[in-house]
């Protein structure tokens, strides 16, 4: 009887328990999936031991899943989401897709060349449906020309052997712009007046902003000097809109690090700050506007004025 019981136990043991050991450096997508599963488990008031029993695994396996260190197979994830009360719909589908996304993309060629955070950002951008961007000093990376990007990056890390890959990578990120539902950037006037490279590079960059603003889903606003230091105080950030609001991500870049934040309250705070920035900024660039429509200064008229000064 003991041998039969042991045999039955072995037969019920999932093969995924014998997979590769936990990864030491999960991607941001893998970490985020684990964090969302932990949120759902907590909301369902299930303990780690109860989930381990459901998966026929030990408690450590659950911890690894929620830290993004190991994957969970499709049938196992389905069981978890049902046990957590996650109904069929956008969030359910998105989590299933996140779990079975292999994380492969154009950014793979930069592995070992650029930082993990850069690759994570590119992957998250590729899965976003909307982006709200605020830059406190320069033009946002997705809107930069190649010469402008090179000038910015060479001023930060002169002589760095990663300059060319870094510029190419930044240009590669721009491919997502056409596929977004919406892109909204607020750029400080100082970011347009600061000489990056030379006057020729700056003129091309400012013309690029007008060109991009012709895309129907792109909004570009300038935050003028006369509105005070609020733009500088808020500093730079990206709000990446997921297929469902639960999967929105805040990205904050610092001189030597970066944060990817999925906390709903923090994201809501930054969303309110972005709305405040947009309300204080000049009306969006509208390249099709007639001269008589510009009686009140807007982003386009300020941009044209700066272009004239660069002659």
- The full DSSP string for 129-142 is SEEEEE-SSS--GG
Pair (199, 129) in one structural domain:
yes
Check which CATH number belongs to the domain holding 54 and give it.
1.10.260.40
Is beta strand 249-253 parallel, antiparallel or unpaired with respect to 237-241?
antiparallel
Q: Is 107 a member of any domain?
A: no
82 and 136 together in one domain: no
150 and 295, same structural domain?
Answer: yes
Look at residue 40 and tell me if it is in a domain: yes
The answer to whether residue 120 is domain-embedded is no
Same structural domain, 242 and 304: yes
| Claim to verify: residue 133 and residue 87 sit in the same structural domain | no
Consecutive sets of 10 residues in the chain, 311 residues long: mean pLDDT of each? Answer: 42 51 86 94 94 89 92 89 93 91 86 92 94 94 96 78 87 94 96 94 96 96 93 90 95 84 95 96 86 70 92 80
The count of domains in the chain is: 2
- Please report, to the nearest 10 degrees, the dihedral formed by the alpha carbons of residues 152, 154, 160, 165 taken in order: 50
CA–CA distance, 82 with 129 (Å, rounded to integer): 26
Residue 114 covered by a domain: no
Q: Residue 80's pLDDT is what?
A: 94
Asked if residue 91 is part of any domain, the answer here is yes
Q: Are residues 89 and 130 in the same domain?
A: no
The pLDDT of residue 109: 93
For residues 89 and 196, state if they share a domain: no
Looking at the structure, tell me whether residues 44 and 96 fall in a common domain: yes
Task: Specify the pLDDT at position 156.
Answer: 76
| 221, 75: one domain | no
Contact 173, 180 (CB under 8 A): no
Asked whether residue 177 falls in the same domain as residue 56, the answer is no
Does a structural domain hold residue 136? yes
Domain assignment of residue 26, given as a range: 2-100
- β-partners of residue 221 are 186
Answer yes or no: is 296 within a domain: yes
pLDDT of residue 74: 85
CA distance 110 to 8: 47
Residue 33 lies in a domain: yes
Q: Domain end: 54, 85, 100, which one?
A: 100
Alpha-carbon distances of 261 from 13, 267, 280, rounded to whole Å: 36, 8, 25
Last residue of a domain, one of 100, 115, 140: 100
Which CATH number does the domain housing residue 287 bear?
Answer: 3.30.870
pLDDT of residue 159: 61
Do 87 and 177 share a structural domain?
no
- Mark whether 50 and 138 lie in a shared domain: no
In this prediction, residue 250 carries a pLDDT of 97
Enter the tokens of residue 297.
């200064």
The last residue of a domain, from among 59, 84, 100? 100
Residues near 280 by beta carbon (within 8 Å), at least 6 away in sequence: 223, 227, 230
Chain position carrying tokens 């309250």: 265
Q: What pLDDT score was predicted for residue 71?
A: 87
Q: Give the contacts of 306 (CB within 8 A, at least 6 positions apart).
A: 192, 193, 206
């Amino acid at each position: 009887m003991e041998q039969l019981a042991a045999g039955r136990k072995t037969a019920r043991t999932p093969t995924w328990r014998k997979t590769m050991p936990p990864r030491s450096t999960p991607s941001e997508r893998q970490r985020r999936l684990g964090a969302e599963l932990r949120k759902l488990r907590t909301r369902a008031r299930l303990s780690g031991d109860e989930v381990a029993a459901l998966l026929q695994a030990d408690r450590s396996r659950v911890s690894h899943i929620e830290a993004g260190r190991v994957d969970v197979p499709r049938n196992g994830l389905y069981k978890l989401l049902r046990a957590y009360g996650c109904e069929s719909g956008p969030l359910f589908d998105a989590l299933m897709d996140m779990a079975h996304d292999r994380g492969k993309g154009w950014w793979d060629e930069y592995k070992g060349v650029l930082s993990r955070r850069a690759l994570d950002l590119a992957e998250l951008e590729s899965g976003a449906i909307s982006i709200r961007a605020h830059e406190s000093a320069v033009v946002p990376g997705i809107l930069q020309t190649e010469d402008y990007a090179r000038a910015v990056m060479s001023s930060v890390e002169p002589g760095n052997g990663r300059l060319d890959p870094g510029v190419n990578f930044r240009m590669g990120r721009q491919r997502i712009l056409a596929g977004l539902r919406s892109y909204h950037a607020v750029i400080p006037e100082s970011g347009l007046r600061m000489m990056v490279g030379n006057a020729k590079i700056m003129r091309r960059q400012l013309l690029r902003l007008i060109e991009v603003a012709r895309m129907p889903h792109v909004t570009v606003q300038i935050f003028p000097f006369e509105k005070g230091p609020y733009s500088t105080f808020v500093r730079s950030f990206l709000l990446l809109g997921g297929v469902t609001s639960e999967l929105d991500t805040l990205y904050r870049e610092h001189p030597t690090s970066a944060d990817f934040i999925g906390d709903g309250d923090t994201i809501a705070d930054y969303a309110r700050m972005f709305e405040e920035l947009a309300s204080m900024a000049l009306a969006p660039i509208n390249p099709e506007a007639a001269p008589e429509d510009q009686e009140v200064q807007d982003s386009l008229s300020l941009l044209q004025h700066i272009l004239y000064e660069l002659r």
